[in-house]
Amino acid sequence: MSVESLEIAKTRYQAGKIAFENGQYREAIENLEKASALLARNSRLAGEVEIYLVTAYEAAGRTDDAIALCERLKRHAHFEIGKQARRMLYILKAPKLKRPSEWMTQIPDLGALPDNELKISIPAKSNSSVQQKPKPTEPEFVDLSQVNTRDNRFIWVALIAIGLTISYLVWFNFSGTPG
């Protein structure tokens, strides 16, 4: 394997991970499969790529492909890859639980309403988007004549009580038993 194909594989692997994290599972699968094809089957990196490929297959609804890949990865040369594949296989083969309909919330399709004339379009994110910094807010000035200071008397009473308690304890410590 050449250094160039290793770099291409790493680039495809990163692109696949990013696509997966953005919910673009078809693109993730494409990149991960190409990365896997460039790597030696029993290398650790190939195992990591294929473990990620299993999750992409499952996310895309290709559970059979995910299970088949896990079955092959169980016997991978690196122990950790095999162990991870066995765990994932256990999860993939687990029976699907049925959820009661009262646990689910149905979201109505508002686009299907006849009086919905407003068409909403969501622009695609571009990689070169500039993040807007929040504008600094100016401090709000408080009119002190409007502030209720009557509640602050409790603080003074508490501070005096604490001071007297500490003074008593210090005096008691020094005037206590003769040393």
pLDDT tens digits, one per residue of 109-148:
766 666 655 555 556 555 555 555 566 677 777 776 776 6
Of residues 151 and 7, which shows the higher confidence score?
7
Half-sphere exposure (Cβ direction) of 78: Cα atoms closer than 13 Å: 15
Question: CA–CA separation, 88 vs 32, rounded Å?
Answer: 18
Contact in structure between 19 and 29 (CB atoms under 8 Å)? no
Mean pLDDT score of the chain: 82
Contact in structure between 57 and 29 (CB atoms under 8 Å)? yes
Contact in structure between 57 and 85 (CB atoms under 8 Å)? no
Q: Which amino acid is at 144?
A: L
Question: What's the confidence (pLDDT) of residue 90?
Answer: 93
Contact in structure between 9 and 35 (CB atoms under 8 Å)? yes
Confidence of residue 100 (pLDDT cuts 50, 70, 90): confident
Asked whether the predicted pLDDT for residue 165 surpasses 90, the reply is yes
Instruction: Out of 68-77, 88-97, 110-119, pick the least confident.
Output: 110-119
Percent above pLDDT 90 for the chain: 45
